[in-house]
Amino acid sequence: MTLTDFSRLLLGDSEYQNAQYLLTLLRSREISAYDELSHILKIIAPVFSAEEYADFLAEGSHISDELFLLGYLAVHGQCLEIGAYDEDAGETVAAFAARRSGVTLENTDTYDEDEPEIFFETLQKAVEPLSYSLLVFASADFFEQFFLFLVPTDMLQGETVASEYRMIWD
């Protein structure tokens, strides 16, 4: 399953259509689209005003469809976006896991920005007995950041989500 298919599954048809509309605006590279895109751009790119968006476009910078969808999903509460250098990343992830799966995580202070995969592997082991899966997408496009999904394992029906941003470990 692609990230696009996964997004549609999480969002439902109506909200997914809105995501596609905004993605079309992003692709148009029109400065006038900033107001409608700003809430997502602030998460995924170094763009915090219409003027910065104009400069961003003039420099030829580009945001991939996948990164945009990850930002959209984060804005709509379907995943958690954290920066690789967030000081309270462990606490933030623990709160997100509690909201999404009801699991209380222990040892969340083990998050290390130099080796985040160890933390994510520990989190995966903690949620597996509850029939949840952890999906982690890493982006270094503009910021070092992660997008974390906790989804019921049966929602994936044995499929994985293919993405250039997906972190996979054994």
State pLDDT tens for residues 58-109: 999 999 999 999 999 999 999 999 886 667 777 888 888 888 777 776 666 6
User: Tell me, what's the pLDDT at 108?
Assistant: 61
Return all residues near 60 (Cβ < 8 A) that are at least 6 apart: none
The residue with tokens 């689209």 is 33
**CB of 132 within 8 A of CB of 124?**
no
Count CB atoms within 10 A of the CB of residue 139.
20
User: Tell me, what's the pLDDT at 106?
Assistant: 66
- 23 versus 109: the higher-pLDDT residue is 23
Structure confidence at residue 133 as a pLDDT band (50, 70, 90): confident
User: Tell me, what's the pLDDT at 2?
Assistant: 94
User: Tell me, what's the pLDDT at 161?
Assistant: 93
The residue with tokens 């999480």 is 10
pTM of the model: 0.91
Structure confidence at residue 123 as a pLDDT band (50, 70, 90): confident
d(CA 39, CA 27): 16
Supply 137's token pair. 């997408």
Percent of the chain with pLDDT over 90: 58
CA 166 to chain centre: 10
Mean pLDDT (the chain) is 88
pLDDT at 36 over 90: yes
